[in-house]
Amino acid sequence: MNTNATGDSVRDRRVQYETAGLDIGDLLPDPVAQWHHWYAQAEEAGCVEPNAMVVATIDDDGLPDSRYVLARGVTDAGFVFYTNYESSKSAQLDATPRASALFTWLQIHRQMKIRGTVSRVSAAESDAYFAGRPRSSQIGAWASAQSTVLADRGELETRVADVEARFADVDAIPRPPFWGGWLINPVEAEVWQGRPSRLHDRFRYRRVDSAWITERLSP
């Protein structure tokens, strides 16, 4: 097998991170405030989907799993995303309610990691978010038994057509009972700023009682 199908381009690709550094005094006192600060700068820099985060979970065998989701609310309580409650990720979170979430803003050489405990948001909060989604996304949520096997694309399209017919006369499509939000409440976070020669700036936030401790980490 050719294990180097990309030639040397992957092995030898090197980008120098010339961005300005980060010092402990530059950090906002808690990770949520810091996230908002960096998110605004990521938006300004034109980063693609700056609210996308990779959420990592573990399954019953202890095997890690991960996937992108979109952060739809970031408050002092933590980071909220919406999904199918019967999906693989939700089954994993029901069994082990802990997760890590990673934001990457590569254009500005930054990443931010959150680790924390996970809980479902209230039904009222999920209802409110669902109500504001485009109708086609609402239909998609009803139609997709997320993470289950489909025979083919046609099966999904048939399910969509069935849902469209079912709600044809309904103005406000209700939230499916199997769909809603998860909240990741951080107990730890890390900000990473790329610097030249791989001597990056890293800081960890650790929650101790109700206070946040920040420490510089080796890159």
Cβ proximity of 183 and 79 under 8 Å: yes
What span, in angstroms and rounded, lies between the C-alpha atoms of 153 and 172? 27
Angle between helices 135-143 and 153-166 (to 10 degrees): 120
Q: Which of 83, 35, 87 is nearest to 65 (CA)?
A: 87
Site stretch for ligand FMN (CB under 6 A), options 8-16, 64-72, 107-115, 202-210? 64-72
Within 158-217, which residues bind ligand FMN (CB under 6 A)? none
Give least dist CB 209 to ligand FMN, A. 32
115 belongs to the catalytic site: no
Of the pair 70, 131, the CB lying nearest ligand FMN is at 70
What span, in angstroms and rounded, lies between the C-alpha atoms of 49 and 61? 32
Within 118-157, which residues bind ligand FMN (CB under 6 A)? 146-147
Site stretch for ligand FMN (CB under 6 A), options 63-71, 124-132, 154-162, 187-195? 63-71
**Residue type at 8?**
D
Determine if 49 is a binding residue for ligand FMN (CB under 6 A): yes
Determine if 94 is a binding residue for ligand FMN (CB under 6 A): no
Q: Which of 84, 104, 91 is nearest to 58 (CA)?
A: 91
Determine if 83 is a binding residue for ligand FMN (CB under 6 A): yes
Among 87, 111, 126, 193, binds ligand FMN (CB under 6 A): 87
Q: Which of 36, 33, 64, 66 is nearest to 51 (CA)?
A: 36
Determine if 88 is a binding residue for ligand FMN (CB under 6 A): yes
What span, in angstroms and rounded, lies between the C-alpha atoms of 28 and 54? 23
Give least dist CB 213 to ligand FMN, A. 31
Binding-site residue total for ligand FMN (CB under 6 A)? Answer: 15
Out of 135, 166, 198, 216, the active site residue is 198
Q: Which of 71, 60, 30 is nearest to 182 (CA)?
A: 71
What span, in angstroms and rounded, lies between the C-alpha atoms of 159 and 166? 10
Binding site for ligand FMN (CB under 6 A): 49, 52, 65, 67-70, 81-83, 87-89, 146-147
Q: Which residues are catalytic?
A: 198
